[in-house]
Amino acid sequence: MVEPVRIEVGLGARAYDILIGPRLLEQAGAEIASRLPGARVAIVTDENVAAAQLPALQGGLEKAGLAACVIVVPAGEQTKSFSQLEHVVDGILAAKLERRDAVIALGGGVVGDLAGFAAGIVRRGMDFIQAPTSLLAQVDSSVGGKTGINSPRGKNLVGVFYQPRLVLADTAALDTLPPREFRAGYAEIAKYGLINRPEFFAWLEANWQDVFCGGAARIEAIAQSCRAKAEVVARDEFETGDRALLNLGHTFGHALEAAVGYDGARLVHGEAVAIGMALAHRFSARMNLASPDDATRVEKHLRDVGLPWRLADVPGGLPDAEALLAFIAQDKKVSRGALTFILTHGIGKAFIAKDVPASEVLSFLRENRTG
């Protein structure tokens, strides 16, 4: 058995480990039992992941003598809803689980956000375990305690910060991902290089094909991403400071997701972030904050790995620039009506830009929507 990479998220008494490596679902029971002795668990998963990964997790729990109930939800971004939150909460309560019992999120970011929100509110907070099975979830959404659901008015507008007790990133689970889902997760890996790790971004430019193939390069890319996020979360758990840098590409990206009605057939989260990162770099160049060469470099890398990078890449078209700006204005990163973006002075030089003029954003969207 390969020894997993272990990364600590340093939050004092609430610190927790991220374990990264193959076949961790089969070891889940031992890892959970050592941290939560005597706990019973509820596994929250979606229909697709249940077929591919649930047997391995159940087998791992059974080996450690952990009793588990299973709550299955539909796959897709639209599952992050009030109705599915009610379904999960009711399932946990129907199983008569107690506060010291645990909820395990087995799946991608949708399941992690939904199950984590439920764990945070049932009995005013139960223990929570993340078992992310998508690349995007392993490098981003499973780490840091953001949970929540969507509203018709915008993405992730309802939720709580609620940290897990453990993250089990089983890299073998990624072998079953469709290529599109893997590429979407890779966008979040690239993001860490673009924020403040230019050497990592250069490494990705040289090694992305090995990351896609699996093995040591994939584990290294995931570990580097988790270290980057863990460091930021330890400094700024509730996103009152530089944790906002992790939203590079997300203000544009969330607006695009809302504009397509969270239709995963047209656009998944990582694809929206990829377009958002390209737009953030291009907008930074337009505002004379960074060189256009940096924007071109970002766009080339996204294009090389097969990710969308411009508004024209969204299938089915988009609403007009005014409607896109309205979605941006609804974003959580708006403060008292002022537009806040993560912009950049170059590769690895992201910064928080407050009071960005709406008129500049609108002109930029008009140009890029048609160009």
Q: Is 44 left (phi over 0), alpha (psi -120 to 50) or beta?
A: beta
Residues sharing a CB contact under 8 Å with residue 247, sequence separation 6 or more, in sequence order = 333, 342
- In whole angstroms, what is the distance from residue 277 CA to residue 288 CA? 17
Q: Is 319 left (phi over 0), alpha (psi -120 to 50) or beta?
A: beta
By the 10 Å C-beta count (0-12 exposed, 13-18 middle, 19+ buried), 334 is classed as: middle
- In whole angstroms, what is the distance from residue 54 CA to residue 25 CA? 9
pLDDT at res. 369: 86
Q: Which residues are catalytic?
A: 124, 146, 188, 229, 239, 243, 247, 250, 254, 269
pLDDT at res. 1: 67
Could you report the per-residue pLDDT of 53-66, keeping only the tens digit for each? 999 999 999 999 99
Could you report the per-residue pLDDT of 209-255, keeping only the tens digit for each? 999 999 899 999 999 999 999 999 999 999 999 999 999 999 999 99
- In whole angstroms, what is the distance from residue 157 CA to residue 178 CA? 28
**Confidence grade of residue 337 (pLDDT, cut at 50, 70, 90):** low
Could you report the per-residue pLDDT of 290-336, keeping only the tens digit for each? 999 999 999 999 999 999 999 999 999 999 999 999 999 887 556 66
pLDDT at res. 178: 94
Question: Tell me: domain 5-176, CATH 3.60.21.10, correct?
Answer: no
For residues 139 and 189, is the Cβ–Cβ distance under 8 A? yes
Domain segments of the chain: what residues? 5-176, 180-370
pLDDT at res. 187: 98
DSSP 316: T
Tally of CA atoms within 13 A in the half-sphere of 117 that contains its CB: 24
Strand partners, 352: 342
Q: What number of residues does the chain have?
A: 371
CATH architecture for segment(s) 180-370: Up-down Bundle (1.20)
pLDDT at res. 330: 83
Average pLDDT over residues 169-182: 96
pLDDT at res. 336: 66
Pick the more confident residue, 164 or 332: 164
DSSP 99: T
Average per-residue pLDDT for the chain: 95
pLDDT at res. 331: 73
For residues 321 and 252, is the Cβ–Cβ distance under 8 A? no
> What proportion of the chain, given as a percentage, has pLDDT over 90?
92
Q: Which amino acid is present at 291? A: S
Average pLDDT over residues 115-129: 98
- In whole angstroms, what is the distance from residue 195 CA to residue 347 CA? 7
> Taking 90 as the threshold, does the pLDDT of residue 152 lie above it?
no
For residues 112 and 142, is the Cβ–Cβ distance under 8 A? yes
**Confidence grade of residue 155 (pLDDT, cut at 50, 70, 90):** confident
Q: Taking the C-alpha atoms of 198, 344, 108 and 179 in order, what is their torsion angle to the nearest 10 degrees?
A: -70
The answer to whether the predicted template modeling score (pTM) of the entire model surpasses 0.85 is yes
Q: Is the dihedral of CA 187, 158, 99, 90 positive or negative?
A: negative
pLDDT at res. 115: 98
pLDDT at res. 136: 97
Instruction: Give the 3-state secondary structure of residue 328.
Output: helix
- In whole angstroms, what is the distance from residue 40 CA to residue 42 CA? 7
**Same fold? 5-176, 180-370:** no
> What proportion of the chain, given as a percentage, has pLDDT over 70?
98
What DSSP element (H or E) covers 284? helix 269-286
